[in-house]
Amino acid sequence: MRTKLMLPAFLCVQIFCAQSADPTNQLRQHELEIKELSRQVQYYKNALNVNQAIRSVTFENIRFDVTQVIGSKKDGTVEVNFLYTNVGPTLRSLQCERALMVDPKGNQHLTTQMYIAPNGRIVANEVLPKTAYRGGVLFKKQNSYLPTIRSLALYIYPRDNFSNPVPVVFENIPVIWQ
């Protein structure tokens, strides 16, 4: 008698406690999780690569590192991103006047937009020692595809800010076209 009652009880328990979720729904959820995690991995890879220098130059205890040069096929602009770090022991101000790019054919291009301060200005006051700051230069309307920039000169004022600006020159910088 006991076995006759136990068998239907076990069957009822298995029927009611069986997994009711749709396996295709679970598969979609896992695919969405994988896509989200892949986006996060790509973000962190980019964040780690942003601070790697392609070219570096030091001028009056300030190290300039070109980190990325991106060309836009759509509108013909070339954007140069760089970091600058005060390697000296004291606070420092920094002012940049202009930038000049020389392509492989020897053509010169002046910058149309430049910034070294967070507010989009060309003057950075109180640059802390051993802290990296981001700057950028934008060159518009390039007529031809540039595989590399032969020379990039940033005209930086010396520490006294009364002398003429001095060029800080980077050579043979590869351009990534998107």
Q: What is the pLDDT along the chain (178 residues), one digit of tens a residue?
A: 566 667 676 666 666 665 555 778 888 998 999 999 988 888 887 766 666 778 888 888 889 999 989 988 888 888 999 999 988 888 888 888 889 999 888 888 888 788 888 777 888 888 888 888 888 999 887 667 788 889 999 998 888 767 788 899 999 999 888 8
170/9 Cα distance (integer angstroms): 81
Q: What is the predicted pLDDT for the residue at 14?
A: 67
**CATH 2.60.40: does it fit domain 55-177?**
yes
Give the start-to-end residue ranges of the domains of the chain. Answer: 24-52, 55-177
Token pair belonging to 165: 């600006």
Contact status, residue 80 vs residue 55, Cβ threshold 8 Å:
no
Burial 48-87 (b: 16+ CB within 10 A, else e): eeeeeebbebebbebebbbbbbebeeeeebbbbbbbbbbe
Q: What number of residues does the chain have?
A: 178
Q: What does pTM read for this prediction? A: 0.68
